[in-house]
Amino acid sequence: MNFPTSFKLAAACLAMAASGPLHAQAYPSKPIKLVVPYSPGGLPDTVARVLSLRLQTALGQPVVVDNKPGAGGAVAAAAIAQAPADGYTLLVSDGPLLAIAPITMRKPAFNAEKDFAPVSLVGTAPLFLAANPRIKANTLDELVAQAKANPAAFNYGSSGIGSIHQLTAEAMIAGLGIRVMHVPFRGSANSVPAMVGGDVDLVFASPPSLMGFVKAGKAKLLAINAPKRSALAPDVPALAEKLPGFDFAFTVAVLAKVGTPPDPINRISAEIAKIVKQPDVVEQLQKAGVDPSGDGPEQLAKALHAESLRITAAAKHANLKPE
């Protein structure tokens, strides 16, 4: 997935399209749909609903959220593919969905590079490495030392095979040179309680999934997968402090269908950049586990490309195969 190159080509085409008839109707002139490839309640859905209310006010048109879960994002991708490339049907997704599908599916329903045009990097969502209080390791260094002394000492739970939670853990394991057994679950709603209950030792999960347990003394934080520490837990080290360049905080992005003219893309991008700087929105996003960004198409393209490279390397270490 090479978004930077494809974006340059798309940008050139869009610029030519922009020189078309002057009588074209100003954007937006009708309702806008934000397609989410997950059921209501997930992180991209939460972000889409935060954005929809503010975009509706800023654009003067209804902005609705349309949840289309299923088939590894194929249902949502089909909705984008079947819609006109006019900026009225947009995808709100996490970056890993775009990168993992080509790795885990023999016939992926979409090609992120060819099918989608980057619009806005809404933000990034870090994951904390949390441990059950019964394990003796209280710091990342202690975890590494104990894992090296006893390779069978620890296991970790994830939200499923091919999930960003598994791939983060596998990247950490490879970087630290340790062995930790993987126990997949169906979503963080199952993996986090399993860690709290002692069925697994470790888990990577979002702050909203963990902080209540941490405050209650039922979990302890050992590290964060972002490039730097989080204001939510400033004493918890970033894995990048031990593994320079480590960054598996995943992107949350808005994308359009390839071929969408520049005016809608630039308008949506500019409005989102303003929205995510509003204090109440910042608070809402951070509470949902997202560090707001608001970067535009070019920055998003670079971020998705870098994320794809990291995920591909981690998937290789995890020996993921297409199904």
Give the domain CATH number at 42.
Answer: 3.40.190.150
Rounded CA-CA distance 89/289 in Å is 25
14/120 same-domain check? yes
Confidence band of 2 (pLDDT split at 50, 70, 90): low
Rounded CA-CA distance 127/66 in Å is 26
Give which of 259, 294, 260, 273 is closest to 32, Cα–Cα: 260
Q: Once rounded to an integer, what is the mean pLDDT over residues 99-128?
A: 89
Helix (H, G, I), strand (E, B) or coil at 69: coil
Q: Once rounded to an integer, what is the mean pLDDT over residues 63-71?
A: 93
Q: Which domain holds residue 13?
A: 3-124+250-317
188/112 same-domain check? no
Q: Give helix 3-18 / helix 297-317 axis angle, nearest 10°.
A: 150
- For 230-278, the pLDDT digits (tens) are 989 999 999 999 999 999 999 999 999 999 999 999 999 999 999 999 9
Q: Are strands 250-257 and 89-94 parallel, antiparallel or unpaired?
A: antiparallel
Check whether 78 has a pLDDT greater than 60.
yes
Check whether 9 has a pLDDT greater than 70.
no
Q: How many CB atoms lie within 10 A of CB 74?
A: 18
Q: Once rounded to an integer, what is the mean pLDDT over residues 134-160?
A: 95
Asked whether residue 322 is assigned to any structural domain, the reply reads no
Rounded CA-CA distance 298/318 in Å is 30
47/137 same-domain check? no
Sheet order of strands, 291-295 included: 63-67, 32-36, 89-94, 250-257, 116-125, 291-295
Residue 109: predicted pLDDT:
75
Say whether the peptide bond before residue 28 is cis (omega within 30 degrees of 0): yes
Asked whether residue 269 is assigned to any structural domain, the reply reads yes
Confidence band of 227 (pLDDT split at 50, 70, 90): very high
- For 81-90, the pLDDT digits (tens) are 889 999 999 9
Asked whether residue 179 is assigned to any structural domain, the reply reads yes
232/289 same-domain check? no
Instruction: Select from 241, 261, 284 the last residue of a domain.
Output: 241
Check whether 191 has a pLDDT greater than 50.
yes
Give which of 264, 262, 250, 274 is closest to 51, Cα–Cα: 274
114/258 same-domain check? yes
103/181 same-domain check? no
Check whether 6 has a pLDDT greater than 80.
no
Check whether 152 has a pLDDT greater than 90.
no
Torsion of CA 9, 13, 18, 19, to 10 degrees: 120
Name the phi and psi angles at 229, rounded to 5: -65, 160
89/11 same-domain check? yes
Check whether 94 has a pLDDT greater than 90.
yes
27/114 same-domain check? yes
Confidence band of 3 (pLDDT split at 50, 70, 90): low
Give which of 6, 264, 260, 288 is closest to 123, Cα–Cα: 288
Q: Once rounded to an integer, what is the mean pLDDT over residues 124-136?
A: 97
Asked whether residue 323 is assigned to any structural domain, the reply reads no
117/7 same-domain check? yes
Strand ranges, E, within 20-154:
32-36, 63-67, 89-94, 116-125, 128-131
Q: What is the mean pLDDT of the chain?
A: 91
Strand partners, 32: 63
120/254 same-domain check? yes
Q: Could you give the percent of the chain with pLDDT greater than 90?
A: 76
58 vs 82: which has the higher pLDDT: 58
Rounded CA-CA distance 285/246 in Å is 23
12/73 same-domain check? yes
CATH code of 230's domain = 3.40.190.10
Asked whether residue 227 is assigned to any structural domain, the reply reads yes
Rg (CA), the chain: 20
Confidence band of 18 (pLDDT split at 50, 70, 90): very low
Instruction: Select from 216, 241, 266 the last residue of a domain.
Output: 241
Q: Once rounded to an integer, what is the mean pLDDT over residues 198-209?
A: 96
Confidence band of 15 (pLDDT split at 50, 70, 90): very low
Q: Are strands 155-158 and 32-36 parallel, antiparallel or unpaired?
A: unpaired
Confidence band of 322 (pLDDT split at 50, 70, 90): confident
Q: Once rounded to an integer, what is the mean pLDDT over residues 114-125?
A: 96
165/227 same-domain check? yes
Residue 104: predicted pLDDT:
82
Asked whether residue 24 is assigned to any structural domain, the reply reads yes
Instruction: Select from 192, 218, 241 the last residue of a domain.
Output: 241
Residue 20: predicted pLDDT:
44
Q: How many domains does the chain have?
A: 2
Residue 307: predicted pLDDT:
95
